[in-house]
Chains A and B, each alone.
Chain A
Amino acid sequence: AQRVTQPEKLLSVFKGAPVELKCNYSYSGSPELFWYVQYSRQRLQLLLRHISRESIKGFTADLNKGETSFHLKKPFAQEEDSAMYYCALSGKSRDDKIIFGKGTRLHILP
């Protein structure tokens, strides 16, 4: 079954502390993995995708095929990072739909 699991509904982290949002997936084949973010009163937007291997707003995510994980990390949290974060996957075909996890609300404490 195709599934994305985000075990934490809420994660509270102090400003300046490291952040790790966990994501595990189940997929038969080689999926594309994404992190989407929704800031307060804004629309859902793509944060990063594993194939681009880039760092956006200080966030990185490494695909670990052995552990089927795609955890999102940032070394020093900032208050503006508070948002809802969704891990997601898709097949590589353009017709494949995106499958989302339930999301983790990240709350950065001052």
Chain B
Amino acid sequence: EAGVTQFPSHSVIEKGQTVTLRCDPISGHDNLYWYRRVMGKEIKFLLHFVKESKQDESGMPNNRFLAERTGGTYSTLKVQPAELEDSGVYFCASSRNGYGYTFGSGTRLTVV
């Protein structure tokens, strides 16, 4: 089975620009999660989808971040406008039943 796929793997953008990250979960996994690791800090939860619904978005830092999962398949995470402190590695994970996450390889976002 294909794993969790994220792209791009790297993105460098200027402050104020918009970036959209994409995550393709494992086929059949209803649960999809976004996490972020900012340099020197822990990997922090952003949000959790069950199919197309947001189950928990308590970790979203502010309204510059918008996550969608139309149709319950792939998900996008848009940052608009990006700020310097948004730099970090964004991880996506999926799970069939809420247990046993499989992580993607992450997107390294650098805002300059």
Contact = CB atoms under 8 A, between A and B. Distances in A.
Kindly name the residue among B35, B42, B45 whose own CB sees the greatest number of chain A CB atoms within 10 A.
Answer: B42
Interface of A: 4, 42-46, 86, 93-95, 97-103
27 contacts: A4-B42, A42-B105, A43-B3, A43-B103, A43-B105, A43-B106, A44-B43, A44-B91, A44-B106, A45-B103, A46-B100, A93-B98, A94-B97, A94-B99, A95-B55, A95-B98, A97-B33, A97-B45, A97-B59, A98-B33, A98-B45, A98-B101, A99-B45, A100-B43, A100-B44, A101-B42, A103-B42
Interface string B83-112: 000000001000001111101111000000
Contacts of B104: 43
Contacts of B61: none
Q: How large is the interface on B (under 10, 10 to 19, 20 to 34, 35 or more residues)?
A: 20 to 34
Contact of B41 (A93, A99, A102): A102
Nearest to B43: A100
Nearest to A45: B103
Contacts of A46: 100-101
B71 interface: no
Contacts, number: 45
B76 to A, nearest CB: 19
A75 B98 CA distance: 33
A9 to B, nearest CB: 8
Interface in B21-59: 31, 33, 35, 40-45, 48, 55-56, 59
A12 to B, nearest CB: 19
